[in-house]
Amino acid sequence: MHILVTNDDGILAPGIAALAAALRPLGDVDVVAPESVQSGAAHAVTFNAPLMCERVSVDGEFFGWSVDGSPADCVKLAVHELCETKPELVVSGINAGANRGVDVIYSGTVAGAVEAAFLGIPSLAVSLEASGGFDFERAGGIARDVVARALEIGIDPGTVLNVNIPRLDRDDPRGVKVVRQSTAPWTDAYDRRSDPRGRPYFWLTDGGERGPSDPPETDLAALRAGYVTITPLQHDLTEYQQLDRLSRAWRRD
Amino acid sequence: MHILVTNDDGILAPGIAALAAALRPLGDVDVVAPESVQSGAAHAVTFNAPLMCERVSVDGEFFGWSVDGSPADCVKLAVHELCETKPELVVSGINAGANRGVDVIYSGTVAGAVEAAFLGIPSLAVSLEASGGFDFERAGGIARDVVARALEIGIDPGTVLNVNIPRLDRDDPRGVKVVRQSTAPWTDAYDRRSDPRGRPYFWLTDGGERGPSDPPETDLAALRAGYVTITPLQHDLTEYQQLDRLSRAWRRD
């Protein structure tokens, strides 16, 4: 099995090293990842500028390609140009921080996996909940188990599995749950400050707890309860429930 | 009615000037838009750096605020900090180039509207198909008609209407169609070149026609046929059809 690994924290992030190492027993692993941190890059794609690539070695050994672009750029370029054969699986991560609920819209980690789906390759995005530090080695083992099980079950070419691992500094995860995405909004706000010249600037702050009363079958609630969560994602954003109503209403013109 | 206008082509782009002018008869228009071009920025959001804002005047008159961030940053900051009252409607555009099919995943224009939906504000994203040049003034009139009709019909707070206007250099649009999003993939590829030092770099190229056999009820096909298209969007990416199957399969562990 030919596996492409990418991320949005950059090719030198500890999460991608742990993921690549964990997946090597499952197949041939190619790493193509952003040169720099792309957190919050969402599904950015570079078409107004060229992409440069560099071979990156770690401890004297070739580790992978860095690309001066987004996770989506990395996957697109890897599949079209850098990999010798088309990857059979793409795994993006391990992100330092969870990507559940509407995070999936903002997440570069998820975007790398969604880009794979566009290209007809099954994919997983893997993120680890923050808990002060991050035990990526242990998270890598959990990711490998999830990937192996997903391959046994079979994932369709267009499917993305969004995987979140709960914080690992307390008990072991309570198990694996396949759950839907929460749509609870962020509770963010801005910290207003003044620069040395008295001009205002704004910094996004973490809000309070999101979706406190979300039902247990959402990724937000299940992760909070200590489960590894798996949410299958698609990329048709149509709001089908409104399609007919709007269509009829518009025709009454 | 208090309307917030944003875009992803930057505050000085002709499309946003035409949109703001076209919407002024419908209410009080605030403009908060990126300082620089953010095309392909998708739903990027800035939390690792502060956001700076500047008051921007055009022809000696205050036009709006520029923000050194993405369209999503602009909407978030406008709603939380820059607007005196919460906008009742957000309109993002007019983008120079269509945003139909899977473009919605990459599009900063759409992201500005989706961010508004997260914040509980009804919103529209408006994009104009390329045809050599762009007749934004005429597109502005079409956008105003669509916005006015949408307000008559009523849009729910969480809803985004993704509006595409066909190229205006040929016949008039054939009408308005409410259609679903196409999921046909891009047909892009990379042009491989060498820099003056012989190092390779890659530039994303336009592929051939996308979804040539897409059915007429998709945004891709309806726009191609010369209709103004409207697609209601939501932000739950869950692939519900796979949720049960995967859930059962995983439990067989």
* pLDDT number for residue A253: 53
Burial class (CB in 10 A: 0-12, 13-18, 19+), B209: exposed
* pLDDT number for residue B6: 98
Per DSSP (E only), the strands in chain B are 2-6, 28-34, 51-58, 61-67, 89-96, 123-128, 160-165, 176-178, 189-194, 200-205, 228-233
Cα–Cα dist B115/B235, whole Å: 10
The residue assigned the tokens 């002018």 is: B21
Q: How confident is the prediction along chain B (253 residues), in pLDDT tens digits per residue?
A: 999 999 999 999 999 999 999 999 999 999 999 998 876 667 778 877 899 999 999 999 999 999 999 999 999 999 999 999 999 999 999 999 999 999 998 889 999 999 999 999 999 999 999 988 899 999 999 999 999 999 999 988 888 999 999 999 988 999 999 999 999 988 888 999 998 888 889 998 877 788 889 999 999 999 999 999 999 999 899 999 899 999 998 886 5
Query: In terms of Cα–Cα distance, which of A83, A97, A101 is closest to A7?
Result: A97
Q: Is residue A204 part of a domain?
A: no
* A48: confidence class by pLDDT, cuts 50, 70, 90: confident
Return the residue of B nearest to A218 by Cα.
Answer: B238
Distance of CA B5 to the CA centre of its chain: 11
* A187: confidence class by pLDDT, cuts 50, 70, 90: confident
Number of Cβ pairs closer than 8 Å across A and B?
210
Cα–Cα dist A206/A209, whole Å: 9
Q: Is residue B195 part of a domain?
A: no
Q: Is residue A7 part of a domain?
A: yes
* pLDDT number for residue A116: 95
Task: Show the domain range for B90.
Answer: 2-183+213-251
* pLDDT number for residue B48: 77
Average pLDDT, chain A: 92
Q: Any idea which of A131-135, A173-177, B140-144 has the lowest mean pLDDT?
A: A131-135
Tokens of A42: 């969402």
Contact at CB, B102 and A235, closer than 8 angstroms: yes
- From chain B, the residues in CB contact with A183 under 8 A are 235-236
- From chain A, the residues in CB contact with B215 under 8 A are none
This prediction has a pTM of 0.90
Tell me the residues of chain A between 185 and 224 that have a Cβ less than 8 Å away from chain B: 185-186, 188-190, 192-193, 195, 199-204
* pLDDT number for residue B155: 87
Among B51, B105, B153, the residue with its CB nearest the CB of A202 is B51
CATH of the domain at A150: 3.40.1210.10
Cβ–Cβ contact A130 with B under 8 A: no
Q: Is residue A196 part of a domain?
A: no
pLDDT tens figures, A71-81: 999 999 999 99
In which element (H, E) is residue A201 found?
strand A200-205
ipTM of the complex: 0.87
Average pLDDT score over residue span A195-224? 90
Return the residue of A nearest to B149 by Cα.
Answer: A250
Q: Is residue A129 part of a domain?
A: yes
User: What is each CA distance from A156 to A88, A115, A143, in whole angstroms?
Assistant: 11, 14, 19
pLDDT at A219 over 90: yes
Residue to test with chain A: of B46, B82, B115, B246, most A Cβ within 10 A: B246
* pLDDT number for residue B36: 85
Tokens of B39: 């095309």
Among A81, A118, A202, the residue with its CB nearest the CB of B190 is A81
Work out how many domains chain A is built from and give that number.
1
In which element (H, E) is residue B110 found?
helix B108-118
pLDDT tens figures, A140-163: 999 999 999 999 999 888 889 999
Hey, is A228 helix, strand or coil? strand
| Contact yes or no for A20/A33 (Cβ under 8 A) | no
